[in-house]
């Protein structure tokens, strides 16, 4: 990407007004999430993070961006069982959806140490198990690549004035984390129903909600339909899950409960993507759902789709570079 500096001023003005410490400015709703003291929110930092999210220069050979695996129309999942890395290393686990991350911890399928977005960003960018973006040891090269672009130089200077224009890896992940915290999904039919709009759900979906509350809500609990705890679904397979970190045999095959917002657009399911459909995923839980209950339950799960989130241009690939059309 190539940018004009003057146009950035217009862009920054357009997105300004969202100041750190103003919960309403970031669509938090009533429950503002914790924000790290060393990474306060700002409009220009979010815009920088958005551009970095879609930039393949964050991978070793320029073939993979964050958005390569996290596609907006799939609620920032990608529709594949797993996704190969930039150097064609096989993927290991199913790509999770990205919404309401500001409230979620831990952040990954089976590593409770990944508790902040700033830390987790290094898993795909620098990680080796598996190799994804393959940038371990290439942090200086990443800074060099981004520093060639005048728009990035301006964005980093404005987003991190304390760094005085320096572009380093730590600020890259801070910007990415700031953007990811704005990926808020609260506009589904179920949200409207919970807010008192009783006609927001069809009669079939309301029937499915009753089944869900009876059979599923023990683990899929809370505003994002996850208890954020680690559970075993079915027999232990080749992936040790939480036991890989804890070294406890009791944790073999345990994975964090995924949230269910936008679940209808994030197939396939489970940590390995082995369930092609929602019905398959329900069956994998060993739930004895009666055949008559399945269509209503699926209708309820469909009601968790937030179509505005899937199409919100604030989360999409930037169509302008510092105020100029690409």
Give per-residue pLDDT as tens, 51-94.
999 999 999 999 999 999 999 999 999 999 999 999 999 999 99
Query: Residue 2: pLDDT band by 50, 70, 90 thresholds?
Result: very low
Q: What is the three-class DSSP state of 287?
A: coil
Residues 162 and 299 in one domain: no
**Domain-embedded: residue 87:** yes
Q: At what angle do helices 203-215 and 294-302 cross, to 10 degrees?
A: 100
**Domain-embedded: residue 209:** yes
Residues 134 and 59 in one domain: yes
- One-character DSSP codes across 115-158: -SHHHHTHHHHH-BTTBSS--TT-HHHHHHHHHT-HHHHHHHHH
* pLDDT, position 325: 55
**Domain-embedded: residue 74:** yes
Residues 239 and 313 in one domain: no
Contacts of 302 (CB under 8 A, 6+ apart): 205, 264
- Pairwise CA distance, residues 296 & 273, whole Å: 24
Range of the domain at 83: 41-185+309-325
Residues 165 and 254 in one domain: no
CB 163, CB 156: distance < 8 Å: yes
Residues 170 and 213 in one domain: no
Prediction pTM value: 0.91
Q: For the residues 121-143, what does the mean pLDDT come to? A: 97
**Domain-embedded: residue 17:** no
Q: For the residues 264-287, what does the mean pLDDT come to? A: 95
Q: Per-residue pLDDT for 221 more than 90?
A: yes
Residues 314 and 248 in one domain: no
* pLDDT, position 236: 94
- Pairwise CA distance, residues 144 & 99, whole Å: 31
**Domain-embedded: residue 35:** no
Residues 173 and 204 in one domain: no
Residues 83 and 67 in one domain: yes
The model's pLDDT over 290-324, given as tens digits with 9 standing for 90+, comes to 889 999 999 999 999 999 999 999 999 998 767 65
Which CATH number do you get for residue 72? 1.10.760.10
Residues 177 and 221 in one domain: no
**Domain-embedded: residue 2:** no
Residues 236 and 284 in one domain: yes
**Domain-embedded: residue 106:** yes
| Strand 324-325 relative to strand 254-256, pairing | unpaired
Residues 109 and 136 in one domain: yes
Residues 181 and 72 in one domain: yes
Q: For the residues 36-56, what does the mean pLDDT come to? A: 96
Number of domains observed in the structure of the chain: 2
Q: Per-residue pLDDT for 152 more than 80?
A: yes
The model's pLDDT over 61-71, given as tens digits with 9 standing for 90+, comes to 999 999 999 99
Query: Residue 27: pLDDT band by 50, 70, 90 thresholds?
Result: confident
CB 177, CB 116: distance < 8 Å: yes
């Amino acid at each position: 990407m190539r940018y004009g500096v003057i146009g950035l001023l217009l862009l920054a003005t357009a997105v300004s007004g969202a100041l750190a410490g103003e919960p309403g400015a970031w669509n938090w709703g009533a429950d503002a999430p914790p924000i790290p003291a060393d990474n306060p929110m700002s409009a220009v930092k979010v815009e920088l993070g958005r551009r970095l999210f879609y930039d393949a220069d964050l991978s070793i050979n320029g073939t993979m961006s964050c958005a390569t695996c996290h596609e907006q129309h799939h609620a920032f999942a990608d529709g594949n069982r797993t996704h190969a890395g930039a150097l064609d290393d096989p993927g290991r686990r199913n790509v999770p959806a990205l919404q309401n991350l500001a409230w979620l911890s831990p952040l990954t399928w089976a590593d409770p140490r990944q508790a902040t977005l700033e830390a987790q960003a290094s898993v795909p960018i620098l990680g080796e198990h598996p190799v994804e973006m393959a940038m371990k040891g290439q942090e200086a090269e990443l800074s060099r690549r981004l520093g060639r672009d005048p728009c990035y130089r301006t964005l980093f200077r404005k987003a991190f004035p304390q760094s005085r224009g320096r572009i380093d890896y730590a600020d890259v992940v801070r910007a990415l984390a700031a953007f990811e915290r704005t990926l808020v999904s609260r506009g589904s039919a179920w949200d409207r129903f919970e807010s008192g709009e009783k006609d927001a759900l069809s009669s079939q979906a309301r029937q499915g909600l009753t089944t869900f509350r009876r059979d599923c809500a023990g683990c899929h609990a809370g505003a994002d339909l996850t208890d954020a705890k680690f559970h075993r679904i079915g027999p232990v397979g080749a992936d040790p899950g939480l036991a890989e970190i804890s070294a406890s045999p009791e944790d073999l095959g345990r994975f964090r409960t995924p949230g269910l917002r936008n679940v209808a657009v994030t197939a396939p399911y489970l940590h390995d993507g082995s369930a092609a459909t929602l019905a398959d995923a329900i069956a994998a839980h060993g739930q004895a759902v009666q055949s008559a209950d399945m269509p209503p339950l699926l209708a309820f799960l469909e009601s968790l789709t937030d179509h505005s989130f899937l199409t919100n241009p604030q989360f999409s690939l930037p169509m302008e570079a510092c105020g100029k059309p690409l």
